[in-house]
Structure 1
Amino acid sequence: MVSTATQIANFNFDNCLMNAAGVYCMTREELEQVENSAAGSFVTKTGTLEARAGNPEPRYVDTELGSINSMGLPNNGFEYYLDYVIELQNQADSKNHFLSLVGLSPAETHIILKKVQESDYQGLVELNLSCPNVPGKPQIAYDFETTTEILTEVFSYFTKPLGVKLPPYFDIVHFDQAAAVFNQFPLAFVNCVNSIGNGLVINDETVVIKPKNGFGGLGGDYIKPTALANVHAFYQRLNPSIQIIGTGGVKSGRDAFEHILCGASMVQIGTALQQEGPAIFQRVTDELKAIMTEKGYESLEDFRGKLNYID
């Protein structure tokens, strides 16, 4: 039998597909829809210390090749999501989950993570390093010094399984430098990638989203080649104990297959999930299994990371 089951750290998942943070995860009702779908897991909306309304509308728009958004971290506060995943983990048939978190400052990040450390939550935690943190500074993960400082302090007290959500990197030297930072820490996973920042989409003579004069993160078809490159670059460079979640441009079984071929252990769906709804998980799973059957692969391990090069 062909299986799309997978594992991150010591957590097992019946299916390698799940939502990307930001999509179908704002409310318990949305998370419940993903929980009850063919997805192997869900990740919560990135929770901040306090609830946030986010940026003014329109802040998300579907485009011909994907989407553009500048959401501004709208969420119900991290405790809303923490309470829900604890509630679910106490149910006998619950899936394993990912709790996504970030502070609006390093101090807030540590307050949040210390509360999670003290809680009864036993699942995986994703620290979102692909959010702008300090005005005038780049996204956290583009600032290797700050990233090192934050992770050093985090792992001085945090003992639960933790991974990081990353923005895309575009330079080979940055892959080298980022991997050198992440390899210093007992990370469970890295998630590659968040949207490509500060794209601009125009309709006639006007931008299509309101925040930041139209500048926003690109998702969908635009970003798949960049996402695959980041997945494979980190698969080549990270300690084998640090697994990779592939995110970006996944709307078919073929897309998921390519992420796994590049080294991903799990695959997240964002823009296409927003457009199609949670039924997409069954369709993409069926398509992925069909490709695996055609190629004679019975498990993800049969082809994960086994990308071929041209001699």
Structure 2
Amino acid sequence: MVSVQTTIGEFHFDNCLMNAAGVYCMTREELAAIEQSEAGSFVTKTGTFKERKGNPEPRYADTALGSINSMGLPNHGYRYYLDYVTELQEQPGSKPHFLSLVGLSPDETHKILKDVQASDYRGLVELNLSCPNVPGKPQIAYDFETTEQILKEVFTYYKKPLGIKLPPYFDIVHFDQAAHIFNQFPLTFVNCINSIGNGLIIEDEHVLIKPKNGFGGIGGDYVKPTALANVHAFYQRLKPSIQIIGTGGVKSGRDAFEHILCGASMVQLGTVLHQEGPEVFGRITAELKAIMTAKGYKNVADFRGKLRYFNN
């Protein structure tokens, strides 16, 4: 029997597959559906300091090769999600969970994380650095100076397991610079990648979503090569104690296999989960196990990071 079990930090998961933040995670009911599926865990919607309605609709659209969205961080506020995962962890057989968070300013981010630090929550936290923080500034993780400053301040008081959600990087020097910063801190994981920002998809003569005159984050088939590159680049550069969660373009067992081959310890499903629902975890798990069986791998550690190159 092959196993798709995995670990992140000191947490054990029966399945290396889970949802991506933003999909099937807005409400307790959606999170409960992921909890009861074959997924190894769930991550909550990224919670902000106060509840947010998000951008005007339509703000999400499926496309032939994936999806486009400009959601605007709609969520019920971080306390809604913190209370739920704290309740859930006390139930027998509960899986470990990921609580996704970000403030709309560094001050809000610190207020949220200090509250989580003082709470009874014992799971993992994902700090979402792949969203805009200050008007006129890029996504947090594209501003290396701000990223380093935030992490430096966070780790003066936050002592629980913490990882970060990253946008895609596209330049080798940016992989080097980002990894240099991340390696300075006791991060448990990095999650690569969030959607590729500010794409534009047109149908007939019209944009597909309303916010930003149609500009939005691209997910699905479009992003898999970029996601794999980011997973592998950070697998090569980060210290072994910082694990990688792979996200982007996973709609089959083969896609999940490739993420793990590039170095991912867990793999998140986004667009395909939105399109197929929680039953998708059963299908992709079975496909991944079939590939592992055919190749003689007994567990994900047997091939994690073992990507082959042409000999020089």
Q: By the TM > 0.5 criterion, same fold?
A: yes
Give unmatched runs, 5+ long, in structure 1: none
> How big is the alpha-carbon RMSD for the aligned residues of Structure 1 and Structure 2?
0.3
* Cα separation, 2, equivalents of 1:300 and 1:202: 39
Are 1:108 and 2:94 matched, yes or no?
no
Question: Corresponding residue for 1:95?
Answer: 95
AA at the equivalent of 2:301: E
Aligned residue number for residue 41 of structure 1: 41
Pairwise CA distance, 1:140: 0.3
* 1:149 positional shift: 0.3
| Residue type at the aligned position of 2:136 | G
Q: 1:252: how far off?
A: 0.3
1:207 partner letter: V
User: For residue 50 of structure 1, what is the aligned residue in structure 2?
Assistant: 50
Instruction: Give the Cα–Cα distance (whole angstroms) in 2 for the partners of residues 75 and 136 of structure 1.
Output: 23
Residue correspondence of structure 1 range 154-233 to structure 2 within 5 A: 154-233=154-233
Q: Which residue of 1 aligns with 2:28?
A: 28
SS at the partner of 1:156?
coil
**Offset of 1:279 from its aligned partner?**
0.3
Structure 2 counterpart of 1:7, one-letter code: T
Q: Aligned AA for 1:178?
A: A
Residues 227-282 of structure 1, C-alpha deviations (whole Å, 9 max, x = no match): 00000000000000000000000000000000000000000000000000000000
Q: 1: distance between equivalents of 2:202 and 2:169?
A: 25
Q: Distance in 2 between matches of 1:10 and 1:30?
A: 26
Offset at residue 116 of structure 1 (A): 0.2
Counterpart in 1 of 2:301? 301
Map 1:67-146 → 2, pairs under 5 A: 67-146=67-146
Question: Which residue identity does 1:123 align to in structure 2?
Answer: G
1:92: Cα distance to partner? 1.3
TM score, norm. by length of structure 1: 1.00
CA displacement at 1:206 relative to structure 2: 1.1
1: distance between equivalents of 2:283 and 2:74?
Answer: 29
Specify the alignment match of 2:65 in structure 1.
Answer: 65
C-alpha distance in 2 between matches for 1:106 and 1:165: 16
Structure 1 residues 9-53: Cα deviation after superposition (integer angstroms, max 9, x where no partner): 000000000000000000000000000000000000000000000
Q: Which residue in 2 is equivalent to 1:147?
A: 147
DSSP 3-state at the match of 2:213: helix
Cross-structure match for 2:270: 270
Distance 1:155 1:258 in 2: 33
Structure 1 ranges of 4+ moved more than 2 A: none
Partners of 1:31 and 1:251 lie apart in 2 by 20
For residues 202 and 260 of structure 1, the distance between their equivalents in structure 2, rounded to whole angstroms, comes to 33
- Which residue pairs with 1:254 in the alignment? 254
- SS state of the match for residue 291, structure 1? helix
SS at match of 1:47: coil
TM-superposition CA deviations, 1:146-200 (whole Å, max 9, x none) = 0000000000000000000000000000000000000000000000000000000
1:111-154 CA-to-partner distances (Å, cap 9, x unmatched) read: 00000000000000000000011111100000000000000000
AA partner of residue 191 (structure 1): N
Q: Secondary structure at the match of 1:135?
A: coil
SS of 1:45 mapped into structure 2 = coil
1:68, distance to aligned residue in structure 2 (A)? 0.1
Q: Distance in 2 between matches of 1:178 and 1:128?
A: 15
Offset at residue 203 of structure 1 (A): 1.1
Q: What percentage of residue pairs aligned between the two structures are identical?
A: 79
Instruction: Please tell me the residue identity of whatever aligns with 1:37.
Output: S
Q: Helix, strand or coil: the match of 2:137?
A: coil
In structure 1, what is the equivalent of residue 284 of structure 2? 284
* SS of residue matched to 2:283: helix
* AA in 2 matched with 1:124: L
TM-score (norm 2): 0.99
**CA distance, structure 2, for counterparts of residue 127 and residue 11 of structure 1:** 18
Q: CA deviation at 1:69?
A: 0.1
Number of residues paired by the alignment? 311
Instruction: Point out where structure 2 has 5 or more consecutive residues left out of the alignment.
Output: none
Distance in 2, matches of 1:208 and 1:289, equals 37
Between the aligned partners of 2:49 and 2:140, the Cα distance in structure 1 is 17
